[in-house]
């Protein structure tokens, strides 16, 4: 469904963020992208929907070469790719409902979007999504009244109301506490399973990735150095991805901390 072919990005500064990345993601598959700071994870996610223009190579979404599209084609292609951000990117002074509906802006005409008048079917779907993520009772609250976890749920609804084929998720839990992080990862992976949605989740926390996704891709210096299941991430592999660190201890520590909280949920 998604195919990256020799995807390369060199920034104007000369920083080589991605080097000839080849990757295929079948429809419905959720994968986590891990790697140390500066490995190229955010760049890869942003090159897929061309928020960052790739230097060379191609991104195919089904039979559409995203890298070759003009502005109209790109606008249409971006509807197929929902994005979820670390900092939620909500409009603070708008309500939860308005923020969710803003995910439909790429679909409604100019005047409707200018006046923020959405078709009833969009409003109904927004209510359904808010109900699904447990925020129905907050539909009329302003975004700036929400907790971090609630904001991210709104960000998830805003991406899903596009009805995308693919979710691009950039550090969804980086601003959240451990328990909320697990809830958000669970929600994202459950929603993907319910909707047959593929997702690429850039995530710092290896233990969290291992808990929730069937495939992990490890990046280092802009190249893929691991592509496999979560159990294949041995301390040796993690050291290869991240450099020298005692990964065994890190992972055990996280799992121990998790056990009682998980049971209490
Ligand atoms: N706008 C930019 N201009 C120049 N260089 C950039 C830019 N954005 C990223 N880079 C460089 O590209 C490389 C990859 O950065 P990127 O942010 O994709 O990595 P990352 O794996 O997402 O890191 P982190 O986990 O810290 O967010 C780094 O060397 C970074 O300094």
pLDDT of residue 175: 84
Average pLDDT over residues 156-184: 92
Is 90 exceeded by the pLDDT of residue 194? yes
Q: Ligand 1: which atom is nearest the Cα of residue 35?
A: 21
In a domain, 31, yes or no: yes
pLDDT of residue 58: 97
In a domain, 151, yes or no: yes
Domain residue limits at 231: 2-251
CA dist 33 and 215 (Å) reads 9
In a domain, 96, yes or no: yes
In a domain, 145, yes or no: yes
In a domain, 192, yes or no: yes
Mean of the per-residue pLDDT values of the chain: 88
The kind and range of the H/E element at 248 are: helix 247-264
| Among 7, 18, 34, 39, residue to substitute to test ligand 1 (most atoms within 8 Å of Cβ) | 39
Q: Domain with 15 in it: what CATH number? A: 3.40.50.300
pLDDT digit string (tens) for 44-96?
999 999 999 999 999 999 999 999 999 889 988 999 999 998 776 888 888 99
CA dist 94 and 139 (Å) reads 11
What is the value of ipTM here, to two decimals? 0.96
In a domain, 265, yes or no: no
The structure tokens listed for 97 are 């409902």
pLDDT band for position 256 (50/70/90)?
A: very low
- Measuring CA to CA, which residue among 146, 155, 94, 98 is closest to residue 122? 98
* β-bridge pairing 166-170 and 198-202: parallel
pLDDT of residue 125: 94
Q: Ligand 1: which atom is nearest the Cα of residue 43?
A: 18
Is 50 exceeded by the pLDDT of residue 262? no
In a domain, 258, yes or no: no
Number of domains in the chain: 1
In a domain, 261, yes or no: no
């Amino acid at each position: 469904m998604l195919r990256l072919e020799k995807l390369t990005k060199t920034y104007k500064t000369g920083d080589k963020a991605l080097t000839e990345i080849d990757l295929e993601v079948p429809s419905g598959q959720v994968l986590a992208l891990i790697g140390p700071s500066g490995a190229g994870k955010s760049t890869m996610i942003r090159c897929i929907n061309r928020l960052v223009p790739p230097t060379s190579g191609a991104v195919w979404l089904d039979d559409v070469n995203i890298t070759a599209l003009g502005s109209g084609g790109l606008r249409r292609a971006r509807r197929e790719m929902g994005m979820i951000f670390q900092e939620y990117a909500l409009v603070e002074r708008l309500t939860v409902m308005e923020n969710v509906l803003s995910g439909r802006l790429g679909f409604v005409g100019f005047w409707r979007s200018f006046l923020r008048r959405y078709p009833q079917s969009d409003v109904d779907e927004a209510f359904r999504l808010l109900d699904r993520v447990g925020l129905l009772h907050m539909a009329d609250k302003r975004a700036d009244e929400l907790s971090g976890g609630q904001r991210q749920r709104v960000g998830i609804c805003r991406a899903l109301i596009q009805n995308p084929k693919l979710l691009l998720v950039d550090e969804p839990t980086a601003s959240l506490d451990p328990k909320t992080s697990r809830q958000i990862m669970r929600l994202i992976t459950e929603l993907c399973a319910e909707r047959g949605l593929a997702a690429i989740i850039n995530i710092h926390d290896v233990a969290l990735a291992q808990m929730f996704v069937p495939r992990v891709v490890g990046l280092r210096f802009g190249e893929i150095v691991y592509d496999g299941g979560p159990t294949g991430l041995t301390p040796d592999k993690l050291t290869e991805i991240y450099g020298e660190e005692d990964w065994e201890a890190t992972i055990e520590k996280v799992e121990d901390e998790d056990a009682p909280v998980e049971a209490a949920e």
